[in-house]
Amino acid sequence: MSQSGSPSGARLLLKRLRNIMAQPGTPQTRLDQIVRIIAGDMVAEVCSTYVMRAGQVLELFATEGLKQEAVHQTRLRVGEGLIGDIASHARPLALADAQHHPQFAYRPETGEEVYQSLMGVPILRSGRVLGVLAVQNRTRRHYTEEEVETLETVAMVLAELIISGNVVSQAELAPEEGIAVVAMRLDGTTLAPGIAKGVAVLHQPDITITQLVAEDPLKEIERLDDAMGAMKLALDEMLATTDVAAGGEHREVLETYRMFAEDRGWASRIVEAIESGLTAEAAVQKVQNDTRARMREITDPYLRERLADLDDLANRLQRHLLGQADIQQPRELPDETILVARNMGPAELLDYDRKKLKGVVLEEGTATAHVAIVARALDVPVLGRCHDLMAKVLPGDPLIVDGDNAQLYVRPAEDIQQTYAEAMRQRSERQQAFAAIRHLPAVTLDGTEVTLMINAGLLIDVPQIEAQGAAGIGLYRTEITFMVAQSFPDVARQRDVYKRAMDASNGKPVIFRTLDIGSDKVLSYWQRDSEENPAMGWRAIRISLDRPALLRQQLRALILAAEGRPLSVMFPMVAEAWEFEEARALLKLELDRAAQAGQQVPSAVKVGAMIEVPSLYFQLDTLLDRLDFVSVGSNDLKQFLYAADRGNPRLADRYDTLAPAMMKLLGMIAAAANAQGKSLSLCGEMAGDPIAVMALLCLGFRQLSMAPTSIGPVRAMIRSLDLGRLLSYWAELQARPVSDLRSRLLVFARDHGVAL
Ligand code: PEP
Ligand code: MG
């Protein structure tokens, strides 16, 4: 057992290391001393430090126990061997039988073949791996969790030495030297649309911790308590005063974030780290390192967001501990700032000067990222999932964020800059043109009127009805409210959200789609068995019918929210007519219940189904007389028609939405609904694509629901289209169906002055 498997042992070890750091000496002699001390303290025959060189190779810099001639000779690629594995995953490994691990790579020059056990931890700084610290033992040894923790704490001391001690040149510490000076383009995912140009500002809460080791843990715990208190007060103040937090789910996001400050688990982990000998700020950093390592492992987008919030909070707490809480970071922002971050919490964005903040790029982040929700409220484009972003962008780099095409240009060449300057100019001209026609009807040159509605999921989307001049909300994705909450919203909470959505729509219709959870829409608070094919699994109406209480609560909330106004309810993922029937019966139960209880019931109730499972087409004859409207969910309909996962980027361009099979199916659905005089709409992504809308008009669709930003372009297209002419051309095309419909329509548009 090592001496450092206990908090007091760890404290002693840290003290000894601090003495070394305080004494004169070269970085190399310090490293040599440190590995010797750790080996002795942890009763290990070997202790070695590997340092990352040029962002890709781990070089043995110091060792006690391995052959000295291997120092500065042995190099491992990131991912190579156990050391490379620790670096690539940024996580510790503790192996009693390291030699039989599939990743074990034996280097003869080190003489390590005799050592059976290995425990190694990454040397981390601001989430970046600077190296690896490892101990080895000749015998089979089971390292304890406490020993791993101690080694992690020691690794923090080494991180400081590497960063500040000229162990490797500062230029080498700059990520991926060489790549960083050339222009490049990175692909990402659009989290908020728009185009922005500016200068990279790394959102690295630039906090330098000078004091790692503390003498008196009690004093540090007191400092922590004070800082926690001050931070909570400051957060409350921010929540009370910031205009973005005024209402809607983004307020909920911020409030949930605030609740983390009360998380006992988080606080007690920090206290534990203090007890092992760290200062309060170093303890916060240690817990933050653990959080970041966990974030790398977790794929669940919702949980990752929660951890990102926690990361945000840790930065904030450190600033309070170091008395830097009032400093806006960074102090001097360029006039056009593009924030670059691994991930960031929603509140952090609000620390930046909104006049200067033009765009955000994240290495991580998902569509439901809380920072993206707040950014949308600020109308700032956000790009997420930019692979290797932090390694490739340096502070001060000129950047172009293209949130419309999900691309980031780093140090763009002159021609790209000019192209984008032109694109931004055109974009702003187009926005002005769309704004100018937003109160004009979406009617074709020859008089066909089309109803344009928006898709919404958050209360902040609702004012877009007015901003875009839309006819209402054709799809309100109620699951988003569930996804940003911490636990199942009860009837009162749901009613409040739905009522506010109806109030804000000023009498225009809102079609509420009942809960469409499952598949990629995860609720962190609902543990479910994993499914092999979740998109085709237990989701949406299948869950609602198997757990009727859930659906009934939602329907009850909708009825209450209507307060006597008309109510439209739509059921998702209906595959067979009886599913719709059962769901409608539950609605009737709730309506009767409300009436019997003497409550106000909606003045009119319309009930519809989404057509997004191809099987439903074959039951339209039975279904259509039983409902008031249908809305085609073309995203899922296409996914199931082509058996092609809609979330798989490899398949994104494989099947065109305008390919013959999809066109045929959509045409048959439209013909059946129109023949029965049923209200028909389409609310998938294609409704926002002006060329696809040309085809949809030919197929008989007259109502479309789309992302708010698509209303302008679709309206402009419709108002410049002679539908009669297009229908003649369409008839010609139908005589000999084509596989390149999109390009044919494009040519037609060009020849006939249709605005695309
Ligand atoms: C669809 O499937 O087309 C649809 C509108 O629903 P969602 O995208 O929410 O699955
Ligand atoms: Mg769908």
Give the Å distance between the CA of 688 and the centre of ligand 1: 13
- Asked, as a colleague might, if the bond just before 330 is cis with ω within 30 of 0, I would say yes
CB-based burial label for 568 (10 Å; 0-12, 13-18, 19+): buried
CA distance 588 to 711: 34
Which amino acid is it at 120?
G
Judge if the beta carbon of residue 636 lies within 6 A of ligand 1: yes
Q: Closest ligand to 685 CA?
A: 1
Q: What is the pLDDT of residues 455-473, one digit of tens each?
A: 988 777 888 899 899 999 9
Instruction: For 351-472, list the strands marked E by DSSP.
Output: 357-362, 382-384, 398-402, 407-410, 451-456
Give the mean model confidence (pLDDT) for residues 207-213: 78
Q: Which of 203, 320, 370, 698 is catalytic?
A: 370
Q: Which of 47, 386, 683, 698 is catalytic?
A: 683
Give the mean model confidence (pLDDT) for residues 737-751: 92
Judge if the beta carbon of residue 305 lies within 6 A of ligand 1: no
CB-based burial label for 647 (10 Å; 0-12, 13-18, 19+): exposed
Q: Closest ligand to 455 CA?
A: 1
pLDDT at residue 621, as a whole number: 93
Asked if 525 and 557 touch (Cβ cutoff 8 Å), the reply is: no
pLDDT at residue 244, as a whole number: 53
Judge if the beta carbon of residue 477 lies within 6 A of ligand 1: yes
Helices (H), 71-131: 81-89
Distances (CA, A) of 153 to 38, 60, 158: 12, 20, 9
pLDDT at residue 452, as a whole number: 98
Q: Using alpha carbons only, how large is the chain's radius of gyration in Å?
A: 30
Mutate to test the pocket of ligand 1, among 683, 696, 703, 704 (most ligand atoms within 8 A of CB): 683
Closest protein CA for atom 1 of ligand 1 = 633
Instruction: Note if 370 is an active site residue.
Output: yes
Give the Å distance between the CA of 448 and the centre of ligand 2: 28
**DSSP per-residue letters across 451-519:** EEEEEESSGGGTTHHHHHT-SSEEEEETHHHHHHSSS---HHHHHHHHHHHHHHTTT--EEEEP---BT
The average confidence (pLDDT) of the chain is 87
CA distance 397 to 603: 58
* Window from 42-51, 416-425, 475-484 with minimum mean pLDDT: 475-484
Distances (CA, A) of 215 to 219, 274, 375: 9, 10, 43
**What's the pLDDT band for 70 if we cut at 50, 70, 90?**
very high
Residue 742 host element (H or E): helix 741-751
pLDDT at residue 176, as a whole number: 47
**What's the pLDDT band for 82 if we cut at 50, 70, 90?**
very high
Maximum separation of any 2 CA atoms in the chain, in Å = 89
CA distance 53 to 76: 10
Asked if 84 and 104 touch (Cβ cutoff 8 Å), the reply is: no
pLDDT at residue 367, as a whole number: 59
Ligand 1 atom with minimal separation from the 639 CA: 2
pLDDT at residue 527, as a whole number: 75
Judge if the beta carbon of residue 638 lies within 6 A of ligand 1: no
CA distance 663 to 651: 19
Q: What is the pLDDT of residues 252-272, one digit of tens each?
A: 667 767 777 777 778 888 999
* Window from 167-171, 269-273, 378-382 with minimum mean pLDDT: 167-171
Q: Closest ligand to 478 CA?
A: 1
Q: Closest ligand to 633 CA?
A: 1
CA distance 277 to 143: 20
**What's the pLDDT band for 630 if we cut at 50, 70, 90?**
very high
Residue 682 host element (H or E): strand 679-682
Give the Å distance between the CA of 318 and the centre of ligand 2: 43
**What's the pLDDT band for 587 if we cut at 50, 70, 90?**
very high
- Quote the DSSP letter at residue 547: S
Give the Å distance between the CA of 459 and the centre of ligand 2: 20
Judge if the beta carbon of residue 612 lies within 6 A of ligand 1: yes
Mutate to test the pocket of ligand 1, among 477, 482, 517, 645 (most ligand atoms within 8 A of CB): 477
Give the Å distance between the CA of 553 and the centre of ligand 1: 23
More confident position, 383 or 260: 383
Query: What are the beta bridge partners of residue 455?
Result: 475
Judge if the beta carbon of residue 479 lies within 6 A of ligand 1: no
Residues 6+ apart with CB under 8 A from 303: 524
Q: Of 514, 459, 519, 511, whose CA–CA distance to 484 is shortest?
A: 459
**What's the pLDDT band for 180 if we cut at 50, 70, 90?**
very low
pLDDT at residue 4, as a whole number: 55
Owner of token pair 């922590």? 224
Judge if the beta carbon of residue 412 lies within 6 A of ligand 1: no
